[in-house]
Amino acid sequence: MSDEHGDRRQALRTEALESLLVEKGLLESAAVDAVVAAFEAHLGPMVGARMVARAWVDPAFKRRMLESGTAAMTELGISGPEAKQLVVVENSDRVHNVVVCTLCSCYPWAVLGLPPSWYKDPAYRSRVVREPRAVLREFGLDLPESKEVRVWDSSAEVRYMVLPERPAGSEDLAEQDLQALVSRDSMIGVGLAGPGA
């Protein structure tokens, strides 16, 4: 949370920086516009939801996706910025996975868009590694003690995405309808897939 004065200061500094970089011939404002527009309009968790839904209906694709998330993205024609190595980790009745970047904010932009504020907050970054079950409970996710919780710390090289469990009762749904069950939070691991996603 910033204050209005702080925001004004940052806004002036950012404007000054952009103005200088344009003058030095390093940057074009139109290129900056394009980047921002892409992130605001085109990138987002609906991309990851496509991968999840496909994995739910197609076991061979799921196998390939778990071997290489990056290759699976290419298969579905998903590219986008920061297409670093994507590793998809699978939730099951025995294991629940959750993703973090303890040092900054590394996140699989290409499949989930930009991370939510809470993902970047100091509290989440440090607590989800130290006390994952408590953090998940605060997100409304109460896991049985018998379930193993695995926390994946993202880095510049490797970004993680969770393959949530397919919700019970969704057996008859078409792939496109399954996509609607996959929330961003379920692909970070702080929620489950299901209706109202």
Partner 1 sequence: MRSQPDQQGPGAPPRKNGELVFREPWESRAFGMVMSLHEQGLFAWDEFREHLIAAIARWDRAHPEAASGGDSEDYVYYEHWLAAFEALLEKRALCRRSEVQERTRRFAARPPGHDHAHDGSHDHARDHSGDDSGD
Residues 24-53 that bind partner 1 (CB under 8 A): 24, 26-33, 35-36, 39-41, 44-45
User: Given CA atoms 109, 127, 186, 63 in this order, what sign does their dihedral have?
Assistant: positive
DSSP of 105-155 = ----HHHH-SPPHHHHSHHHHHHHHH-HHHHHHHTT----TTSEEEEEE--
3-state SS, residue 21: helix
104 is catalytic: yes
Annotated catalytic residue, options 19, 29, 92, 104 = 104
Task: Check binding of 177 to partner 1 (CB under 8 A).
Answer: no
Burial-class residue 6 by CB neighbours within 10 Å (0-12, 13-18, 19+). Answer: exposed
Site string for partner 1, 72-111 (x = CB under 8 A): ---------xx-x------------------xxxx-----
Catalytic residue list: 101, 104-106
Point out which residues bind partner 1 (CB under 8 A).
1-2, 4, 6-7, 10-24, 26-33, 35-36, 39-41, 44-45, 81-82, 84, 103-106, 113-114, 116-117, 120-123, 125-127, 156, 183-185
